[in-house]
Amino acid sequence: MGKPTGFMEYDRKTARAIAPAERIRHFNEFHIPLTKGQQKLQGARCMNCGVPFCQAGVDIMGLTSGCPLHNLVPEWNDLIYTENWEEAYSRLIKTNNFPEFTARVCPALCEAACTCGHYGDAVSVKENELGIIENAYEAGYAKARPPRVRTGKSVAVIGSGPAGLAAADQLNKRGHTVTVYERDDRPGGLMMYGIPNMKLEKTVIDRKIRIMEEEGVLFQLGVNAGSDVKAAKLLKEYDAVLLACGAKTPRDIKVPGRDAKGIYFAVEYLSATTKSLLNSGLKDKQYISAKGKKVIIIGGGDTGNDCVGTALRHGAASVLQIEMMPKPPIVRTEENAWPQWPKVLKTDYGQEEAIAVFGHDPRVYETTVKEFLKDKNGNVTAVKTVKLEQKKDEKTGRMVMEEVPGSEGKLDADLVLIAAGFLGAEKYVADAFSVALNERMNVATDAGTYATNVKKVFVAGDMHRGQSLVVWAIREGLEAAREIDESLLGYSGLAVQ
């Protein structure tokens, strides 16, 4: 513990965000990082608790509390305070292969469980994580370290999202020869094309991919495994295959008028924008533009927020975000005590920007879609809605959302984006490898394992657990790598905290 009284002497400080009116003019990251001196003081705020909930990663009331990677948060906060930056990096990468990703896109489960946050403000853990990894790149010690010995075993990883990359990184470090197959033209999975550039600049992914290539990981891009290259061929050529293709089947809104033109899934909207941005700076016009349009986004989660931010950068005339659930409370309720994940109102960057541009929060709560209206040419013109209210189901005791009679309304729309989540793995991949699916349409395995019903075939990430966070995908990739390693050699030298 660097300074026992630090949490009483120093206030929480985080990176300053560029003003919404300025940042919506571009697609670049928009936070100005803390200086080393400021991060030192933030490290001093860490209390080195006897029970560090920040790194627990345990399930409480159905939600994760603390970091699923069990990052050694108190250790590297102390090392920042004592200005041992290289040692802080060494401690950070013991548990997290990709802090440059999580420090940008993770919702900071660690901070939500921080003891300082019980009665005051949590330690700026995410800020310090970013400071450690970016300093490591600048100082030159976040560099390639190829394995000295190869095992003679080979593994094919299908999918280059965080789960696939984490597994590939671990297995390569172990000395296995790893080839990653990615159907898109760039590696990164949803981190590349699903998460907008302003949240995670793609040069950050490219930088890490170059290091992995220098360490010996092979990337086959534009190859749809199971289609372009048959599953049987992969199983014959490799000693093990890991499926890490994500949960990419989007949940649809099946109401009258769904066939109207101008209705898209959020992931195709976001992906098209990022691809066009990277290929031409949007000059090729190969994206779904919201410029001058009245945009309705169905879904109140992170993906919906990303659609809000992207539509504003396109120059949308208006943006509304429809959310089925009630508006969350501003502060924790008694039923949602620390260190549970706080189920409170979160106003993210896209909503902040919409408030700045239009003068009001874009979210419309307790509302669902009844019908899409269209003109004579089949273009969407409006969304018919109905209000919902939360009631207790007398049979099950669960709270359910029911329609409010006579509460129908209409919202004008030129562009509708469906951000209602995902339903599971894409079936063609599961069929190609003959792996069984469970009732949630994820690839089935025994509890706590990653081996599928097909010999030599393993699964990890969203394809295994369903739609989740990047940090959970990394965790799954690490655990799957250890299981694959053990299957290949009879034991594993890969540690997972």
Domain ranges of the chain: 6-139, 154-248+423-489, 263-418
pLDDT band at 2 (very low <50, low <70, confident <90, very high): low
Average pLDDT over residues 387-411: 91
Contact in structure between 404 and 396 (CB atoms under 8 Å): no
pLDDT tens-digit series, residues 139-164:
999 999 999 999 999 999 999 999 99
Taking residues 280-288, what's their average pLDDT? 97
Segment 203-220 shows an average pLDDT of: 98
Residue among 357, 366, 354, 367 at smallest CA distance from 308? 354
Section 423-427 average pLDDT: 91
Going by their DSSP bridges, the two strands 367-374 and 363-364 should be labelled as unpaired
Instruction: Give the homologous superfamily in CATH for domain 154-248+423-489.
Output: FAD/NAD(P)-binding domain (3.50.50.60)
Q: Write down the pLDDT at residue 399.
A: 85
Instruction: Please check the confidence at residue 176 and state whether its pLDDT lies above 80.
Output: yes
Do the domains 6-139 and 154-248+423-489 sit in the same CATH topology, yes or no?
A: no
Query: How confident is the model at residue 394, as a pLDDT?
Result: 84
- Residue 497, pLDDT > 90, answer no
If you average pLDDT over residues 192-198, what whole number do you get?
A: 97
State the average pLDDT for the chain. 95
Cα separation, 463 vs 125, in Å, equals 29
User: Domain 6-139 carries which CATH code?
Assistant: 1.10.1060.10
Question: Which pTM was predicted?
Answer: 0.95
CB atoms closer than 10 angstroms to residue 445: 21
Q: Give the CA radius of gyration of the chain.
A: 23
Specify the pLDDT at position 48: 80
Q: How far is CA 368 from CA 81, 180, 269, 387, 403, in A?
A: 49, 40, 21, 7, 9
User: What CATH number should be reported for the domain whose range is 263-418?
Assistant: 3.50.50.60
